[in-house]
């Protein structure tokens, strides 16, 4: 699952991607030329990008690629200029590459393709680069819709080929709006959404099996509860429960899983009657 979104912040497209990351609670970053110079002017301070010691944007592109696991290039037709350079540098540094040509792919299908690629190639840090409004005045909104759809599908662990139209984006974002602040609140949310079958399975696991569960359920918890993007109150609650002041995001997700497991064992554990 995606842990971080990277962008160069140069175009309306790049900034739209950063806006999506902020909206959904994903950490974001990237490199921008010295002076925070973008093609749209000076990049606003709300975007947490770092300045390169040079004003050469090509160096920013290469560094953004090196810092990511996969490069997503959104375009109209043949790649030229910065976008072809991004393609070449992605191949040079042996990162995963996906190109979406919006002349050939409609938006909601693009979201599905990106989600499938993210999951197939195990992309956790994603670099996105796309065209300016000179190419299409609606490209910022269109890119935001595509990337947001792909991220929501990824978070929901949608099956291959699923479209964002198969899900209720409004309902999902409503759940994201107020993340839990305590371990108990997090467990309440998980239990309210978890099918009975999954509750029974977890309740009958051994303690040792929980570590394996943390690899998939833990990633979901870290994203949905924003442990990767500033939910300090929930992490502090996990630290209080474990009495470990240095507990990180991975430890916090495991703490929530353990608390979920303990509660489910009281209500859903299968007992053999002799």
Instruction: Give kind and range of the element (H or E) at residue 262.
Output: helix 249-267
Instruction: Give kind and range of the element (H or E) at residue 185.
Output: helix 183-193
All structural domains of the chain, each given as residue ranges with its CATH number in brackets, are 4-169 (3.40.50.450), 178-267 (no CATH)
- pLDDT for the residue 90: 95
Q: Please, which pLDDT band fits residue 223 given cuts at 50, 70 and 90?
A: low
Angle between helix axes 81-92 and 57-66 (nearest 10 degrees) is: 40
For 163-188, the pLDDT digits (tens) are 555 554 455 455 444 678 999 999 99
Highest mean pLDDT among 31-45, 120-134, 193-207, 234-248 belongs to: 234-248
Q: Could you report how far apart the first and last alpha carbons of the chain are, in Å?
A: 44
- pLDDT for the residue 174: 52
Q: How far is CA 200 from CA 114, 188, 203, 260, in A?
A: 33, 16, 5, 12
Is 91 or 78 the better-scoring residue by pLDDT? Answer: 91
> What's the length of the chain?
274
Q: How far apart are CA 203 and CA 177, in angstroms?
A: 29
For 11-48, the pLDDT digits (tens) are 888 999 998 888 887 889 999 999 988 888 888 888 88
Average pLDDT of every residue of the chain: 83
Strand 4-7 relative to strand 125-129, pairing:
parallel
> Given a cut of 60, is residue 147 above it in pLDDT?
yes
């Amino acid at each position: 699952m995606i842990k971080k979104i990277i962008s160069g912040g140069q175009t309306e497209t790049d900034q739209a991607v950063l806006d999506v990351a902020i909206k959904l609670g994903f950490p974001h970053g990237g490199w921008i030329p010295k002076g925070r110079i973008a093609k749209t002017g000076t990049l606003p301070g709300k975007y947490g990008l770092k300045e390169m010691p040079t004003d050469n944007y090509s160096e920013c592109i290469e560094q953004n690629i090196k810092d990511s696991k996969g490069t997503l290039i959104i375009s109209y037709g043949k790649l030229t200029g910065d976008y072809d350079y991004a393609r070449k540098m992605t191949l040079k540094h042996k990162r995963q590459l996906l190109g979406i040509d919006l002349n050939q792919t409609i938006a909601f299908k693009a979201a599905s393709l990106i989600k499938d690629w993210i999951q197939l190639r195990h992309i956790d840090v994603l670099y996105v680069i796309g065209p300016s409004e000179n190419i299409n005045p609606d490209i910022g909104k269109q890119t935001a819709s595509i990337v947001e759809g792909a991220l929501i599908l990824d978070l929901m662990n949608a099956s291959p080929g699923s479209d964002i139209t198969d899900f209720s984006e409004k309902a999902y974002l409503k759940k994201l709006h107020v993340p839990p602040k305590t371990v108990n609140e997090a467990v309440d949310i998980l239990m309210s959404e978890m099918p009975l079958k999954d509750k029974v399975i977890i309740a009958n696991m051994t303690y040792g099996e929980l570590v394996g569960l943390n690899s998939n359920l833990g990633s979901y918890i870290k994203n949905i509860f924003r442990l990767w993007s500033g939910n300090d109150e929930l992490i502090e609650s996990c630290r209080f429960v474990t009495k470990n002041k240095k507990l990180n995001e991975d430890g916090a997700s495991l703490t929530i899983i353990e608390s979920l497991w303990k509660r489910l064992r009281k209500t859903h554990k299968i007992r053999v009657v002799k």
